[in-house]
Amino acid sequence: MGDNHVSTPLSSKERGEGVRLLDGKAMALQIKDEIANEVRSLTDAGHRAPHLAAVIVGEDGASQTYVANKEKSSHEVGFTSSVYRMAESTSERQLLETIEFLNNDPDIDGFIVQLPLPKHIDEQKVINAISPDKDVDGFTPVNVGRMVLGEECFVPATPMGICTLLKRFGIETAGKHCVVLGRSNIVGTPVANLLSRKGFDCTVTLCHSRTSNLKELTLQADIVVVAIGKPEFLTADMVKPGAVVIDVGIHRVADASKKNGYRVIGDVKHDEVDAKCSWVTPVPGGVGPLTIVSLLQNTLQAYHRQTRN
Ligand code: GUN
């Protein structure tokens, strides 16, 4: 660069200073350690280990990866883990019979039915068949109702993971405007509910595909939770400087430079958004690891309730 080149100094936000990562990977390791210690105390005292089961129907690649990760994490903390793999052609009745079996097996503390299910199976009917006491995903109407009423319940894993990140990193939430993008039953709707409640005390705006003034709303947000399922949807022009941005998206995109041929991106365009944030979750390594840990925490809770250990 020549001596006569005078460049405009970058602001601290433009340089990315002050941006802090909500490192879910490190936090998940720490919480898994806490769970593993508790499980060790239980088994050392002669009790059986907590048992998490998963049912997966069909060959969906992403679902196979999620279930494999859940199984691996279960083993890491000393849980017993079982996976019921069922063919794509499994009938609704066969699946309901498997659920009935799991509901009645006293050695299983909690189980999940991996979604999405094949088109010929009624997803809500299947969820409704899960015993609320073993519903560690928190998807059954009883647990959803309890959550909305603020009663003890199983909270869905991804919203619970987001709450854990905010709490453990000491992010100030009271009185803050939180804009949630996406109203799914699994993430957007429950996280909007949880963050508006006592303890978090956010003022929440829940946005969806029919929201007309999205950018106007996100620009007012102190906290943005992006769970919209569109790769790199949230761009820098939509974010207020200093905002906290939580990225729930997970998308695989082809990348020939990677050994496995792909890389993972989120719902946030991180190369331009991160520099504007005070805190941001990376993808991968942000919300994802906390989601699995939350499922383990729910299973431990189910175990305590059922065994009274
Ligand atoms: N599919 C995508 N996310 C989830 C989840 O949290 N639980 C289940 N059961 N299926 C999913």
Whether 190 and 113 share a structural domain: no
Q: 124 and 161: one domain? A: no
Cβ–Cβ contacts within 10 Å for residue 224, how many? 28
Which residue owns the Cα nearest ligand 1 atom 3? 115
Task: Count up the domains in the chain and report the number.
Answer: 2
Give yes or no: residues 160 and 284 share one domain. Answer: yes
* 187 domain residue, yes or no: yes
Q: Cα(279) to centroid of ligand 1, in Å?
A: 26
CATH of the domain at 128: 3.40.50.10860
Average pLDDT (4-32) is 74
The answer to whether residue 225 is domain-embedded is: yes
Residue nearest to atom 6 of ligand 1 (CA): 157
127 and 52 in a common domain: yes
Last residue of a domain, one of 132, 148, 172: 132
126 Cβ below 6 A of ligand 1: no
The answer to whether the CB of 112 is under 6 A from ligand 1 is yes
State yes or no: is 33 an active-site residue: no
Question: Is 258 within a domain?
Answer: yes
Residue 103 sits in the same domain as residue 60:
yes
Mean pLDDT of 80-100: 98
At 11, the pLDDT band (50, 70, 90 cuts) reads low
Same structural domain, 167 and 95: no
Which residues form the domain of 108? 47-132
pLDDT over threshold 60, residue 177? yes
3 found inside a domain: no
Question: For residue 161, what pLDDT is reported?
Answer: 98
pLDDT in tens, 97-151: 999 999 999 999 999 999 999 999 999 999 999 999 999 999 999 999 999 999 9
* Ligand 1 atom nearest residue 295's Cα: 6
CA distances from 204 to 7, 59, 112, 238 (A): 41, 37, 29, 17
Contact 289, 164 (CB under 8 A): no
pLDDT at 17: 58
- Over residues 259-264, mean pLDDT: 93
Does the beta carbon of 186 lie inside 6 Å of ligand 1? Answer: yes
- CATH code at position 178: 3.40.50.720
Name the residue at shortest CA distance from atom 4 of ligand 1.
115
CA 80, CA 50: separation in Å to the nearest integer?
6
Same-domain check for residues 166 and 282: yes
**Same domain? 79 vs 185:** no
Average pLDDT of the chain is: 94
CB of 137 closer than 6 A to ligand 1? Answer: yes
- Residue 114 Cβ inside 6 Å of ligand 1? The answer reads yes
Give a yes or no: residue 27 inside a domain. no
Judged against a pLDDT cut of 80, whether residue 173 lies above it is answered with yes
In short, whether 157's Cβ falls inside 6 Å of ligand 1 is: yes
Active site residue 176: no
> Which numbered atom of ligand 1 lies nearest the CA of 113?
9
Same domain for 190 and 118, yes or no, is no
Which pLDDT belongs to residue 253?
93
189 C-alpha vs ligand 1 centroid, how far in Å? 15
Output the 3-class SS for the chain. Answer: CCCCCCCCCCCHHHHCCCCEECCHHHHHHHHHHHHHHHHHHHHHCCCCCCEEEEEEECCCHHHHHHHHHHHHHHHHCCCEEEEEEECCCCCHHHHHHHHHHHHHCCCCCEEEECCCCCCCCCHHHHHHHCCCCCECCCCCHHHHHHHHHCCCCCCCHHHHHHHHHHHHCCCCCCCCEEEEECCCCCCHHHHHHHHHCCCCCCEEEEECCCCCCHHHHHCCCCEEEECCCCCCCECHHHCCCCEEEEECCCEEEECCCCCCCEEEECCECHHHHHHHEEEECCCCCCHHHHHHHHHHHHHHHHHHHHHCC
| Shared-domain flag, residues 166 and 106 | no
Residues 188 and 125 in one domain: no
Shared domain for 87 and 192, answered yes or no, is no
**Closest residue by Cα to residue 307 from 151, 135, 76, 108:** 108
Whole-prediction pTM: 0.93
Residue 201 lies in a domain: yes
Active site (annotated) includes residue 114: yes
pLDDT digits (tens, 9 = 90+) for 183-222: 999 999 999 999 999 999 999 999 999 999 999 999 999 9
